[in-house]
Structure 1
Amino acid sequence: MNNPFPFSAIVGQEEMKQAMIFTSIDPSIGGVLVFGDRGTGKSTAVRALAGLLPPISVVKSCPVNSAQFEDCPDWANITDSAMIEAPTPVVDLPLGASEDRVKGALDIEKALTRGEKAFQPGLLAKANRGYLYIDEVNLLEDHIVDLLLDVAQSGENVIEREGLSIRHAARFVLVGSGNPEEGELRPQLLDRFGLSVDVASPTDINERVEVIKRRDAYENNHSSFMLRWQAEDAALRDRIITARKALRDLKTPDTALHTVAELCQKLGSDGLRGELTLLKAARAYAAFRNDTVLGTSHIRSTAALALRHRLRRDPLDEAGSGARVGRIVNELLGA
């Protein structure tokens, strides 16, 4: 079974699916953090996303998925400018990965056999223009976290070691998943995720039964199951492509900007990243719905996604950050 589970076949978890769709419409939103219990479909959703995303146009032999020949790094020695359609990359970053594996390093085989100093691209090169996925992101080693923060800030991977001086584009959507019982995320990395989602096991018995049925069909009647959901995934892919185009012409009135700013101010979110992310997420939602003007309903629907992980902790509030966002939204925009 090489095909990932179909995205459209995932039962429930609507907020998680929405967040991933929004980042596929506008990758500058900045990534998705999914926290919740084990076995709630976090990894399944990311794998399914790989099969859903529209292909990208890349230079055929470029190791960093460049969109045009002029963007190919010099060290890659690309001579063929032919373009091809390739799947949007979705790359796993294992917890135990070394810095060399992530950033890239000297190609030992070429160094030993040919005496050449050549660069072996790492995971960041493969993830350029795609997604970088980290399961159990809260257990990631600090030096890898620091590395990712640097690259996320600059959009460029720089390697200076063993006589090599290499740089290449490294712009990707970071997707992290984890179990909150296993530790918290460093605030610096938490802030780098545009959207945050809390997932839980379904409580409705019929929904749980449906999950079992679909997983069983995926494993035991794979071909017919994939065929059953192929059309829905294709329709969703077409909506994403349409929304990307609609985003360019979406009107954003000043009243919407005022609402976004006032909401973030009332919630006490630090800095202006919350406003910018909420604006982008709301615009992506509006484009996905094929609306032409950003309105209050779009902001309301995306506020918790963009802001729940940016709030200061309130030890006296047991309702959770998502509920706090909901209360302020209702106060400001009406119930």
Structure 2
Amino acid sequence: MSLTAAAPSTKRRPVFPFTAIVGQEEMKLALLLNTIDPYIGGVMIMGDRGTGKSTTIRALADVLPEIDVVANDPFNSHPEDGDLMSDEVRQQAQQGISLPVAQKKVPMVDLPLGATEDRVCGTIDIEKALSEGVKAFEPGLLAKANRGILYVDEVNLLDDHLVDVLLDSAASGWNTVEREGISIRHPARFVLVGSGNPEEGELRPQLLDRFGMHAEIRTVKEPKLRVEIVEQRAEFDRNPEDFVSKNQQEQEELQQKIVKAQNLLPSVNLDYDLRVKISQVCSELDVDGLRGDIVTNRAAKAIAALEGRQEVTVDDIRRVITLCLRHRLRKDPLESIDSGYKVEKVFSRVFGLEMVEDTANTNGVRTGVR
């Protein structure tokens, strides 16, 4: 009796649905706002082990709508937007060459802790470049992540030099590789998401400041919610296809909501008086630079767009300002007050609102104002 090997399955592995994730609202909101406006600058997620950080980020990438790319281009170049094209594709477009278009899922790239600079940035084949006179470039992880999400788990354990490279690319939108006088650059616009456990070490303040938002997550304390989370996970592990199918409608609705928000974002208005008050909060908190002001403005507009509105409200600002500022405050080792609580307190005073004292939400973090 002869045995024939079964053909390998090309079916995509099911991903836990974003809409089925219970709790951790702060993290989910920060991630959604960055997909609506990538210029917010990414998210740093700090929290306990086993709180669903990686699951949530992979689930987000899965729910995002497909994007148009130039077929067979290693940099996911946009077929029409010159800012999102590689130099080679842009030259072809300028020459009037027809670009083949394909659709693909938003790329989600995991950056392993032991990655080398060549693996991250890409490498130039010097021998080929010199002998054949062509720029032989092997793309790295930054090329794959262009127009997608770059996820760095345990970012606080990553080599400082690599973190610098990532943040420079995220800020400029380009990755440049130089070897022996040969220089190659390609677009590298991605939402940078870092996660880590504060017990394993803190990020340097100047690096932390480069992340647009900072979500703090805690292990859910309420027994009923814990049971619900465990049951959801067990149901998914038993039959992933059925579980995904059951949540399909909610996933599609969220995807449509994201697309509408991205289209609405340019027409969202943030009143001048509210902008002045945001800057006043940043000033009173002694936040260095203007990044805090810019990110809070962008995040407030993104949350209004997410909810289908063209005017930013005070409540929109309340819901995002702690995420945008808590990691930008100067640390005082003798101070026991939580930085998030400090932001809420100053926000309440500047905006003339009343603080809600010591109520805890499902993340184990104080809630804000009313």
TM-score, normalized by length of structure 1?
0.94
The answer to whether residue 201 in structure 2 is matched with residue 195 in structure 1 is: no
Kept after mapping to 1: 8 A contact 2:322/2:344: yes
Question: Any stretches of 5+ residues in structure 2 without a counterpart?
Answer: 1-11, 355-370
Instruction: Give the structure with higher Rg (CA).
Output: 2
Question: 1: CA distance between counterparts of 2:127 and 2:241?
Answer: 41
For residues 64-106 of structure 1, give each alpha carbon's deviation from its aligned partner in whole angstroms, at most 9, with x where no partner exists.
1111266233299977611122111111111100110000013
Shift of 1:244: 1.1
Structure 2 residue 87 is matched with structure 1 residue 73: yes
Q: Which of these residues, 289, 307, 323, is aligned with residue 325 of structure 2?
A: 307
The CA distance in 1 between the partners of 2:65 and 2:274, in whole Å, is 30
Question: In 2 relative to 1, CA 261–109 (structure 1 residues): closer, same or farther, beyond 3 Å?
Answer: same
Q: Distance in 1 between matches of 2:277 and 2:128?
A: 57
> Using the alignment, how far apart are the partners of 1:256 and 1:299 within structure 2?
9
> Aligned pair 1:33/2:51, yes or no?
no
Instruction: Select between 319-328 and 278-287 the one with higher mean Cα deviation.
Output: 319-328
C-alpha spacing 1:76/1:135, structure 2 compared with 1 (3 Å): farther
Deviation at 1:116, TM superposition (A): 7.0
Supply the distance in 1 between the matched residues of 2:128 and 2:231 (Cα, whole angstroms). Answer: 50
Residue 317 of structure 1, CA deviation: 2.9
What residue number does 1:289 align with? 307
Distance in 2 between residues matched to 1:22 and 1:36, nearest whole Å = 19
Kindly state the Cα deviation for residue 319 of structure 1 after the two structures are TM-superposed. 2.7
Q: Is the 8 A contact 1:133 1:176 kept in 2?
A: yes
Q: What does the per-residue CA deviation read over 1:5-41, in whole Å, with 9 as the maximum and x for residues that have no partner?
A: 1101111000100000000110100000000010001
Q: Supply the RMSD in Å over aligned alpha carbons.
A: 2.1
- Counterpart contact for 1:75–1:166, Cα < 8 Å: no
SS in 2 for 1:35: strand
- Counterpart residue number, 1:161: 179
Aligned-partner Cα distance in 2 for 1:9–1:259 = 36
- In 1, the alpha carbon distance for the partners of 2:133 and 2:176 equals 23
Are the aligned partners of 1:61 and 1:80 in contact in 2 as well (CA < 8 Å)?
no
From 235, 242, 254, the equivalent of 2:260 is 242
Name the structure 2 match of 1:143: 161
Residue-by-residue CA offset, 1:161-208 (whole Å, 9 max, x unaligned): 156421111111110000001011022221111010000110000100
Secondary structure in structure 1 of the residue aligned to 2:50: coil
Describe the SS at the equivalent of 1:57. Answer: strand
How many residues were matched structurally? 333
Question: Does residue 128 of structure 1 match 2:155?
Answer: no
Q: Partners in 2 of 1:28 and 1:37 — Cα distance?
A: 27
Find 1:225's aligned residue among 236, 243, 250: 243
Work out the CA distance in 1 between the residues paired with 2:232 and 2:127: 45
Secondary structure of residue in 1 paired with 2:247 = helix
Whether the 8 Å CA contact 1:158–1:166 is kept in 2: the answer is yes
1:174 match: secondary structure: strand
Relative to structure 1, is the Cα distance of residues 120 and 264 closer, same or farther in structure 2, using a 3 angstrom cutoff? Answer: same
d(CA) in 2 for partners of 1:248, 1:218: 38
Q: Is the 8 A contact 2:108 2:150 kept in 1?
A: yes
Contact 1:62 1:76 in 2 (8 A): no
Structure 1 residue 156: Cα displacement: 1.2
